Amino acid sequence: MAIQTQLLKAREVAQASEAQLHNEVHKFKAHFSVSPQLAVVLVGHDPASQVYVRRKHETCHKLGIRSVKIELHPDITEKELLHHIQRLNADPDIDGILVQMPLPSHLDAKKIIEGIDPLKDVDGLTTSNLGALVAGNAKAVSCTPKGVISLLKFYDIQLKGLNCAVVGRSLIVGKPMALLLQQEDATVTMCHSATRNLKGILQQMDLVVIAAGKPMLFGKEFFREGAVVVDVGIHRIDNGQICGDLKATEMNGHLLAYTPVPGGVGPMTIISLMENVVKLAFNRRSNLK
């Protein structure tokens, strides 16, 4: 009998989280007499990054969070960019700093991220916050992996004891994703570009998170029947359509559930960002008092 495949959509989760965030922002304002404030640094004119940054601002606005955009020339030097970040670090009215990735190739992303005050690091990407994540006490966790866990929990997917694979080992998605799944008592295998027999490994898994960055690379032959797949990829292909790393048209009737692109992981990333801004704002301003 064909499996009834469920789409893990973000819309309902986002609505519930937004309602909760609205209350949190309200409490924050009552307590500190201002709203939390996010600063987003955008270097260059990458069209996808411009869209993402605009969405972040729109969501901030909707929730009553202040946001400021710092748009910088693509030829900016590392020293100049670090100078902007230091200014934001020192500004007591800025609660969160996000440097939109990817950066132009002449800039060393790791060095730039390390310039962010860990107390304002809403992406959870500084060494200090990544270390805290390993230790299990992170103040802010990278937004996409955090959003994936929230989405799976919303749909009541029990992670304890599951055999999970994460495809991709980036600092922003793969590595924190594997740690968060482990914290939920899943057994986690990390796969990457040098993994041998990727298909054979993925076919054993109950849950696969794909962050390979390759449009429609993964067909149904990679997954066992009844598996759950989270697709972190987002690509605009030649015909203008948006797709993920999955060949989504092959998944109906084969998987138990998967995340659509768009409408799956993407909106969850933004919600996690908002949660991180509010959380860091509460932490920092409470300690300043």
Judged by the rule CB under 6 A, the positions of this chain that interact with ligand GUN are: 98-101, 123, 143-144, 172, 269
Nearer to ligand GUN, 202 or 243 (CB): 243
> Is residue 123 among the annotated active site residues?
yes
DSSP state of 5: P
Nearer to ligand GUN, 101 or 190 (CB): 101
> Nearest to ligand GUN by Cβ — which residue?
101
> Is residue 15 among the annotated active site residues?
no
Query: Are residues 95 and 280 in contact, defined by beta-carbon separation less than 8 angstroms?
Result: yes
DSSP annotation string for 79-138: HHHHHHHHHHHH-TT--EEEEPSSPPTTS-HHHHHHTS-GGGBTT--SHHHHHHHHHT--
CA distance 47 to 56: 14
CA distance 68 to 80: 18
Closest distance to ligand GUN from the beta carbon of 143 (Å) = 4
Catalytic member of 56, 120, 146, 175? 56
Strand partners, 86: none
Nearer to ligand GUN, 222 or 267 (CB): 267
Closest distance to ligand GUN from the beta carbon of 286 (Å) = 25
Tokens of 170: 């980036």
> Is residue 100 among the annotated active site residues?
yes
Residue position matching structure tokens 């993407």: 266
Closest distance to ligand GUN from the beta carbon of 123 (Å) = 5
Nearer to ligand GUN, 35 or 142 (CB): 142
The 3-state secondary structure of 136-178 reads CCCCCCCHHHHHHHHHHHHCCCCCCCCEEEEECCCCCCHHHHH
Closest distance to ligand GUN from the beta carbon of 233 (Å) = 11
Catalytic member of 95, 100, 175, 231? 100
CA distance 156 to 140: 23
Nearer to ligand GUN, 98 or 177 (CB): 98
Exposed / middle / buried, residue 160 (Cβ in 10 Å: 0-12, 13-18, 19+): exposed
Nearer to ligand GUN, 95 or 206 (CB): 95
The amino acid present at 163, given as its one-letter code, is N
Catalytic member of 95, 121, 123, 231? 123
CA distance 209 to 190: 10
Closest distance to ligand GUN from the beta carbon of 225 (Å) = 32
Closest distance to ligand GUN from the beta carbon of 78 (Å) = 17
CA distance 32 to 234: 38
Residue numbers annotated as active site: 56, 100, 123
